Structure 1
Amino acid sequence: MTIHEISPKQLRALLLLLVLVPFIPLVLMLRFMTDALQGERDAARERLSSDTQRTLSSATISVDRHLTTFVGPVSPEEMRRLCLEAFDPTIDISISDAGGGLVAGPAKPPGRLVAQSSIKYLDKPWTTRAWLVDERPLQEEVRDQFKVYAWTGLIAAVAICTIAAAAGLTVNQQLRLHELKNTSVATVAHELRTPLATMRVLVDTLREGRYRNEEQLREYLDLLHSENLRLSRLTEHFLTHSRLARGQYQFTFAPVRADSIANHALNSLQPKLSAPGCSFTLDVEKSLPPVMADRDSLVTVLINLLENALKYTGDEKRITLRARRDDDTLVFIVEDNGVGLTATQRKQIFEPFYQADQKLSRSRSGVGLGLSIVRAIVSAHRGRIEIASEPNRGAAFSVHIPLAQA
């Protein structure tokens, strides 16, 4: 069975779908809750009407008995008062005669009609009506159910949004990984092609004997050696990044002095740092306390930071490597007078294959893995890295590594 890879277009469509889909159950749930609450209100009104009807019927029966035993006429208002005694203040009573004319009670309907009953007065049928003038008891009866629905809906909405957000983050991560893979493949191909093409031209030239003298032969061999070192560095960066990303990089921790780490880093870069146009300053005291670290890894950190400084400075380079103690950590600081970084670049500079200045990256070797490797190694040492930089004002990278316990 062939498994087809999802294209970026499909991933973006899926991401958009994950953003829109949660609204469907939320709308349906809101509609269900609204209908359920309306049903609760209707049921509460029905119960109120039924209870009021029974109470009103009992009250009119009592009034009717009172009228048959009472000597003398009774006013409609007295009849209304006798009916009201059976209800709480949320109910008002009106009485109308056989023709529908109002004889007692409010002139206008004071609320919603909830019950009515007939009573005989002076051999004529009169009608008593019960009006709900205050719906707060009805609302209080529904309020508890509303709280249940509200909390249930809130929890369900949070759960749906959380699941959708998690799925969206996963899809977005896959999209970024897809784009990163394409970028990394293109970058790697470009960086490998350049030295390979140079080496091929030089090898063909030497094979055909197209050189004038021993001096030119030595020059061609030096170029071959330089390009070979460049390929070796690229390959080492790829392997280191891959091992760190998969958690397979082996660290050997032991107490190491700061000057030892700095000197091993400088041994690899001495020709570049001592080249014309480069002013390099080393400020690392031998008296600094040791750190518990993997020496080769921290050497790689300093080499990558120094190479980054060399890459992003102009013709007049001023680079400084310092080390100092800061409480319970040792701080390595690499400063330069290069192009500097914006706030956005400072946030992205440690991402794999990211290069702050694309013009400089095209004119100089590198695939954008150096600082990503630096961050991974520093994190493995339970340290941290800080950047102080402004555009066109250089940059200072500070690496904090915990001191070795005495």
Structure 2
Amino acid sequence: MPKSERLAWPILLLLMTVLVPSAGVVWMMREAVRNERLASNQRLREAYQIQLEAAGQAVRERWSSHASASQALSQNNDARSPARLFADLVSRGGLDSVLITDGQGDILYPDPPRSLRRRTESIDPLWLQAEKLEFTDRLFAEAAQAYTELAARSDDAVVSARARQAQVRCLIAANDNAAAIEVLQSQRTYSALYDADGRSLAAAAELRLLEIMPPQTAAWVEVRESLHQRLGNYDDVTMTSAQRRFLMNQLPQFTDQPIDWPMQDAEVLAAQAAATKGITQADASLQPTSLPGLWARASSDDRLIELYRTATLRKTLLQLTDGSLLPSGVAFAVTAPTETSDHLMDTSLGDDMGRWRLGLAMTGGDPFDDVSKQRRAVHLWIGLLVIAVTCVLAWLLATSLRQRLRLAQLKNDLVATVSHELKTPLASTRLLVDTLLSADENDDSQANAKQTREYLQLISHENARLTRLIDNFLTFSRMDQDKAILDFRTVDVGDLVNQAVTVFRERSGIDDDSLQVDEVPELSVSGDLDSLVTAVVNLLENAWKYSEDPRKITVTTDADQQHVRLAVRDNGIGMSAREIDRAFDRFYQVDQRVSRTRGGCGLGLGIVKAIAQSHGGSVRVESELGVGSRFTVCLPKLMTRTE
């Protein structure tokens, strides 16, 4: 019966023995845990329903108080500008931004673009002449002088300021930065003036100064700090929200330190919302806008439109639950209307709050489920115990079966190997002896004597081969049973290598340069010389056996502070990674064809490993298919008195 068929039924029986009880136990455990979980969830709903409803009512009341506080702040706005009110509302927290309106749908902040451009520029001949000098003739110095005259004679502060801006533009184009800086420094004092497009002249002048002044000077740093403070001053009514956002984006490029603008994100969000259709029609209930992730809510007097991002709204609603008591193991969670909830339970916060939901989420164990936990624990431990016992028994059975199969395979391998290896030298010897016996006894010619001697040498060779084979079996048997008797003495590594090479040359008949022995340094180890010689000879014979002509076998020796390494390298057929893992297994041979033509039973490397381990060392192999192999024996170094 094939080996695969002999193993099929025991393996199938073993699998059934493990899988059937384990499947039954797992099913019973799953059902028990499922029932306990259902009961626990029901008890949780009954225990937490009242607390969740109370918390939801508290959140609604606090949200109403939050909205009333914002509206009260806007109603007490007699002395506040829309910009100041915007900053105060955002600074209170709880929202991301806000739109300030006049109650009729027109937005006051962020303020819409405004233009104060005078028609005087286009009808005054001197203006036309100055613009011609600047833009057509490119005579910047003359244009700057013309703009200076315009600024001096104009009675309109805005027109004069625009002429000064044009003068600065021409001075910079004429590379007269010093004069441009002087003009800009004077414009910084125009704190109450707009330019032709409604922007603060002082802030625009300070930005231009930062661009043309030598950086990091005292004057430059003073201008930068002044502009920084100006951007945070929401009482400055001359600066539009658009100019403020622009300057907030520009100022960081003039400093290596990060600038924190608490209002910058709120300014950007308010500008986006102001440009979005439909947001100004928001009512007093929280509702999503056409901007992704943005919610809006209008005050009852329609003067405020509060803006909330989803993350901020979630955080704010959770903060409103502070003070609501809950047992350990659960926590409040907030869910948007478009989100799917996997919480223990949820309750809607109502239409006024955009139908957001307040829920309870499990964060730990169930404090009201001690009995259920104990029952589940009992079920779990019983199931695990049954599975563990089943697995242990199956493992013992598998181990026993594997050992018996391994022993049976080893016996078969031993019988087959011994039969083959003993049969070959015995058959050769018998043939040679029969040939000698059948020779003519009266033929005492020189040729007959020569042939007889050759046959006797062949018989001696086969006898030596048979002796080595039997010695290998006996050696491996003694080492495998820990019965080997080793005579540990100080062994000179050079003497060890020389003896091994001599024995190998006598056995293999190699007398050419195919075997190279590098110079051996003065090293010593503690060990049994005969056993170590046997190990090295086995490595050399293995290298010779698995190499083809021209052979190149090299023996090298080196050492570190603790170990001596003796390596045998060949240019043979090499081994794959899988073959390397089995190289030292008993009776294993990489290429059976080599063993049939050159002999061997697969015990040589196993003996090398056993000898190395008996001396407290190890052996390893490095190999590459088609390139060759390198076997290295590593032994503990015997320290000299000096070392």
Q: TM-score, normalised by structure 1?
A: 0.70
CA–CA distance in structure 2, aligned partners of residues 356 and 307 of structure 1: 14
Specify the structure having the higher radius of gyration (Cα).
Answer: 2
1:61 aligns with: none
Q: How far off is 1:222 after superposition?
A: 0.5
Q: Which segment drifts farther, 193-202 or 210-219?
A: 210-219
Give runs of aligned pairs for residues 239-388 of structure 1, distance below 5 A.
239-271=474-506, 275=510, 279-288=514-523, 290-388=524-622
SS of match in other structure, 1:317: coil
Contact 2:515 2:552 in 1 (8 A): yes
Contact 2:521 2:557 in 1 (8 A): no
2:460 aligns with: 225
2:372 partner amino acid: V
More strand by share: 1
Question: Paired residue for 1:238, among 473, 486, 495?
Answer: 473
Q: How far off is 1:30 after superposition?
A: 3.0
SS of match in other structure, 1:21: helix
CA–CA distance in structure 2, aligned partners of residues 41 and 222 of structure 1: 88
SS of match in other structure, 1:22: helix
Q: How far off is 1:39 after superposition?
A: 7.8
Contact 2:432 2:455 in 1 (8 A): yes
Contact 2:488 2:528 in 1 (8 A): yes
Q: TM-score, normalised by structure 2?
A: 0.45
Question: Paired residue for 1:27, among 20, 23, 28?
Answer: 23
Give runs of aligned pairs for residues 205-220 of structure 1, distance below 5 A.
205-209=435-439, 212-220=447-455
CA–CA distance in structure 2, aligned partners of residues 313 and 278 of structure 1: 14
1:358 partner amino acid: Q
SS of match in other structure, 1:249: coil
Q: How far off is 1:12 after superposition?
A: 4.8
Q: How far off is 1:217 after superposition?
A: 0.9
CA–CA distance in structure 2, aligned partners of residues 402 and 159 of structure 1: 45
SS of match in other structure, 2:552: strand
CA–CA distance in structure 2, aligned partners of residues 40 and 159 of structure 1: 26
Q: Does 1:15 align with 2:11?
A: yes
Deviations 1:86-132 (A, max 9, x none): xxx9xxxxxxxxxxxxxxxxxxxxx9xxxxxxxxxxxxxxxxxxxxx
Contact 1:8 1:175 in 2 (8 A): no
Q: Taking structure 1 as reference, are residues 38 and 324 closer, same or farther at Cα in structure 2, changes over 3 Å only?
A: closer
1:57 aligns with: none
Q: Taking structure 1 as reference, are residues 170 and 284 closer, same or farther at Cα in structure 2, changes over 3 Å only?
A: farther
Give runs of aligned pairs for residues 16-95 of structure 1, distance below 5 A.
16-34=12-30
1:144 partner amino acid: Q
Q: How far off is 1:8 after superposition?
A: 8.1
SS of match in other structure, 1:315: coil
Contact 1:12 1:175 in 2 (8 A): no
Contact 1:277 1:315 in 2 (8 A): no
CA–CA distance in structure 1, aligned partners of residues 540 and 37 of structure 2: 74
Q: How far off is 1:40 after superposition?
A: 6.5
Q: How far off is 1:150 after superposition?
A: 2.0
CA–CA distance in structure 2, aligned partners of residues 340 and 323 of structure 1: 21
Contact 1:15 1:171 in 2 (8 A): no
Contact 1:332 1:400 in 2 (8 A): yes
Q: How far off is 1:9 after superposition?
A: 5.2
2:408 aligns with: 178
SS of match in other structure, 1:399: strand
2:416 partner amino acid: A
Deviations 1:8-34 (A, max 9, x none): 855553233223311222233234445
Give runs of aligned pairs for residues 395-406 of structure 1, distance below 5 A.
395-406=629-640
1:117 aligns with: none
Q: How far off is 1:345 after superposition?
A: 0.8
Q: Taking structure 1 as reference, are residues 405 and 145 closer, same or farther at Cα in structure 2, changes over 3 Å only?
A: farther
CA–CA distance in structure 2, aligned partners of residues 157 and 16 of structure 1: 18
CA–CA distance in structure 1, aligned partners of residues 381 and 533 of structure 2: 57
Q: Which segment drifts farther, 215-224 or 240-249?
A: 240-249
2:597 partner amino acid: S
Q: Taking structure 1 as reference, are residues 350 and 41 closer, same or farther at Cα in structure 2, changes over 3 Å only?
A: closer
Give runs of aligned pairs for residues 142-153 of structure 1, distance below 5 A.
142-153=372-383
Contact 1:15 1:172 in 2 (8 A): no
Deviations 1:335-358 (A, max 9, x none): 111111111110111111111111
CA–CA distance in structure 2, aligned partners of residues 16 and 10 of structure 1: 11
Q: How far off is 1:153 after superposition?
A: 2.4
CA–CA distance in structure 1, aligned partners of residues 406 and 383 of structure 2: 34
- Structure 2 residues without counterparts, runs of 5 or longer: 44-325, 327-344, 346-365
2:297 aligns with: none
Q: Taking structure 1 as reference, are residues 328 and 147 closer, same or farther at Cα in structure 2, changes over 3 Å only?
A: same
Q: Taking structure 1 as reference, are residues 192 and 209 closer, same or farther at Cα in structure 2, changes over 3 Å only?
A: same
State the Cα RMSD in Å.
Answer: 3.3
SS of match in other structure, 2:632: strand
1:304 partner amino acid: N
CA–CA distance in structure 2, aligned partners of residues 167 and 405 of structure 1: 49
1:238 partner amino acid: F
Q: How far off is 1:43 after superposition?
A: 9.6
CA–CA distance in structure 2, aligned partners of residues 250 and 178 of structure 1: 29
CA–CA distance in structure 2, aligned partners of residues 252 and 269 of structure 1: 22
Q: How many residues align?
A: 319
Q: Taking structure 1 as reference, are residues 194 and 37 closer, same or farther at Cα in structure 2, changes over 3 Å only?
A: same
Contact 1:324 1:330 in 2 (8 A): yes
CA–CA distance in structure 2, aligned partners of residues 314 and 373 of structure 1: 24
SS of match in other structure, 1:285: coil
Q: Which segment drifts farther, 314-323 or 20-29?
A: 20-29
CA–CA distance in structure 2, aligned partners of residues 320 and 388 of structure 1: 14
2:257 aligns with: none
Runs (4+) of structure 1 exceeding 6 A deviation are: 38-45
Q: How far off is 1:161 after superposition?
A: 2.0
CA–CA distance in structure 2, aligned partners of residues 173 and 164 of structure 1: 14
1:98 aligns with: none
Contact 2:505 2:511 in 1 (8 A): no
Matched residues, percent identical? 38
Deviations 1:332-383 (A, max 9, x none): 1001111111111101111111111112111111111100111111111111
